[in-house]
Amino acid sequence: MKYFRYVWMLLFFMAVSALPVTGLMATVSEQACIKCHQEISPGQVADWRASKHSREDVGCTTCHGEKHMEAKDCKQALMPDEKVCAQCHEDQFNQFTKGKHNLGWASMMALPVTHLEPDILIEGGRGCGGCHNMGVKTEAQKQAQLRLGYRYQTNSCDECHTRHAFSKKEALNPRACQQCHMGFDHPQWEMWSSSKHGARALIKEVGDLPKGANAPKCQTCHMPDGSHDNHTAWGFLGVRLPLPQDPQWKADRITILKALSVLNPETGKPTGLLDAVKTLDLARLTQEAWQTERDEMLQICARCHSKSYAQKQLEMGDDMLRQADRLMAQAIEIVAGLYRDAIIQKPEAYPFNYPNLLFFMRTGGGNLNKLSHIDQILLKMYLKHRMRTFQGFFHINPDYAYWYGWASMVDDLGKIQETAGLMRATHAKGK
Ligand code: HEC
Ligand code: HEC
Ligand code: HEC
Ligand code: HEC
Ligand code: HEC
Ligand code: HEC
Ligand code: HEC
Ligand code: HEC
């Protein structure tokens, strides 16, 4: 018995004495980091001082380690990935890994076109990679990036909680989403900020609304109650399984899926890409999966609207997508006819002799950048104008839904019809 008492005493003594020693060592190096970086990068230190971390002893060494202590060994500083944050924020990390943002890097890398672009726009993080730097990277992905000479962009959490303030308030501001959800094919920032919802949220921000008056921002609808797991029903591509019951819409969808090379244009059978669609969650693959997302969204609308009102708005959005698909399929079929009749030559990198909407603005292979003009119109019709038609509708923006969306699709289809006619005439003359 006596013996045990000594062991306990010894253990207790070791525990209390060990704490201050390691604590003290950490404080010493921590102070060195701050002292030196206060001189060389004061803005960074000021940001960190403004953070909750600085008050909770989460310092430079917690995230960057202690191996670098002088200018010449600065490459020894660790670049912390999301797992470092997970040590203290497990809930947010776990939610994040179940959401769409966690698939940003993988879905970009899955596209053949990505590998035809300059590295600097991908791994360097100033083009596709600047926005798709979301997702916990595998060791292989990190090594691939290092081999190309890029050692940054290892953390997704700092995309909304910008380093080094790592602020919740900042991430709750819709501007935290602006850098990525804008522009060519997903102008959610532009649509929302000029919609009734956005305008009112911005009026509210400057305090010109009665206290308690409501307006939803991105986070209200997409990260409700602090959830880091984000999905929508239709998603970016605006397609899903099972195919629609309406026969015309079903046929149009099949045409679109062929142009996305998910279906083989010759046989109509699924291609290998369907697996990627599954793993990357590019589309909801069952009615239930789609309905769950839709129901969750409706619950949110119902915080401020009647359910019937909101439901009608969302159903009109679905119907807009159906009508947009009619225009889209007509355009694809016209261009597909030009491939079939060898008026357009199949670009080397294309898997099929059929227009391909996943090559964005490039053809790849031997004739880089030499995408036919009519293919360019088709791509813009899909990526820019079809997106605006339904995304503008869902974000309650009349001008995007009509002029930048629907009206532009009608314009594209007209141009495609006329250009195809001219191409056929020139081709016949050449023979
Ligand atoms: C004697 C001064 C000094 C001390 C002490 C110091 N640093 Fe640095 N640190 C630098 C310099 C200089 C750079 C390089 C700046 C540049 O590239 O312009 C740097 C760069 C860094 C980088 C970026 C590395 C990169 O690849 O861009 C990190 C992260 C960093 N320091 C963290 C720390 C941490 C954490 C500590 C404390 C453990 C620390 N520093 C201590 C001077 C110092
Ligand atoms: C909570 C974690 C955390 C803490 C604490 C932290 N950093 Fe960082 N730091 C990061 C992350 C994340 C990155 C970005 C890594 C990347 O892009 O790969 C980063 C990047 C950097 C960089 C390189 C990028 C740049 O913008 O220059 C420097 C330098 C740096 N930190 C210095 C510091 C210093 C000095 C401190 C202490 C005052 C500190 N960090 C505290 C997480 C942290
Ligand atoms: C060693 C533990 C630790 C690590 C590692 C850590 N944090 Fe924290 N973090 C904390 C503590 C403690 C708080 C303060 C919690 C509180 O006040 O409720 C905090 C608060 C936060 C907050 C909320 C700030 C606010 O304004 O309310 C965010 C966001 C955050 N951390 C993000 C991160 C990110 C991103 C990383 C990784 C780059 C990270 N943290 C790494 C411990 C940590
Ligand atoms: C301005 C930021 C930005 C740039 C640049 C960007 N993307 Fe995206 N990308 C996004 C956002 C945001 C989404 C999701 C949009 C949505 O759901 O409406 C997305 C969606 C996607 C998707 C579909 C993911 C899905 O779940 O359906 C793929 C694939 C993709 N991008 C690849 C690329 C490639 C390849 C490039 C470069 C040629 C690129 N992106 C450039 C921000 C960007
Ligand atoms: C009032 C709620 C609401 C607000 C506010 C809102 N959205 Fe949405 N968002 C929706 C709905 C509804 C959809 C379509 C859901 C579906 O597919 O059924 C959607 C879809 C999306 C999508 C998928 C592609 C698309 O556009 O259809 C992204 C990405 C997105 N929103 C981002 C944002 C961003 C970023 C903001 C802020 C700038 C924002 N949203 C503001 C309700 C909202
Ligand atoms: C797409 C933007 C976005 C990304 C990426 C993101 N967060 Fe957040 N985070 C938010 C928002 C918005 C909130 C505020 C939620 C709320 O309270 O409604 C938040 C809140 C937090 C909080 C504070 C929780 C609390 O209530 O005190 C922590 C901690 C946090 N995030 C950690 C992380 C970590 C760790 C990661 C990476 C795995 C991460 N976040 C990635 C947007 C983001
Ligand atoms: C660093 C860039 C970046 C930031 C910042 C960002 N996102 Fe995203 N977001 C993306 C990318 C990239 C995707 C597509 C991921 C993929 O490829 O699967 C995406 C996807 C989404 C989706 C899923 C759409 C779908 O297909 O169902 C929603 C919803 C969303 N983001 C909302 C937000 C909100 C809200 C914020 C701000 C709090 C935000 N995002 C901040 C880049 C970003
Ligand atoms: C946080 C409260 C809030 C949420 C959540 C919300 N709205 Fe609204 N919404 C408003 C307010 C306030 C207005 C402006 C007053 C009005 O027209 O009812 C508005 C207006 C509208 C309008 C009319 C726009 C116009 O031009 O008159 C539509 C349509 C709409 N919302 C649909 C939706 C849908 C669909 C959802 C869910 C995806 C949703 N709202 C979620 C508060 C909200």
pLDDT one-digit tens code per residue, 252-285: 999 999 999 999 999 999 999 999 999 999 999 9
**Ligand 2 contacts CB of residue 158 (under 6 A):** yes
Q: Say if residue 31's pLDDT is above 50.
A: yes
Out of 4-8, 143-147, 350-354, 357-361, pick the least confident: 4-8
How far away, in angstroms, is 427 Cα from ligand 7 center?
A: 45
Q: Is the pLDDT of residue 23 over 70?
A: no
Task: Confirm or reject: Cβ of 305 under 6 Å from ligand 8.
Answer: yes
**What residue's CA is closest to ligand 3, atom 40?**
85
Q: How confident is the model at residue 1 (pLDDT cuts 50, 70, 90)?
A: very low
Position 58 scores a pLDDT of: 97
Q: Which of 2-6, 114-118, 144-148 has the lowest mean pLDDT?
A: 2-6
Ligand nearest to the CA of 134: 7
Per-residue confidence band for 22, with pLDDT thresholds at 50, 70 and 90:
low
Cα 236 to ligand 8 centroid, rounded to whole Å: 22
Residues 6+ positions from 276 with CB-CB distance below 8 Å: 110, 282
Tokens of 369: 């950048």
The pLDDT assigned to 371 comes to 78
CB 206 within 8 A of CB 77: no
Give the separation between CA 304 and CA 99, rounded to whole angstroms. 25
Check residue 61 and give its pLDDT.
Answer: 97
Residue 237 in contact with residue 283, Cβ under 8 Å? Answer: yes
> Closest Cα to atom 14, ligand 7: which residue?
104
Compute the distance from residue 175 Cα to the ligand 8 centre, in Å: 20
Closest atom, ligand 4, to C-alpha of 110: 29
The identity of residue 381, as a single letter, is M
Computed over every residue of the chain, the mean pLDDT equals 92
CA-closest residue to ligand 4 atom 2: 180
Give the mean pLDDT of 164-192: 97
pLDDT at 4: 52
Residue with tokens 């596709």: 128
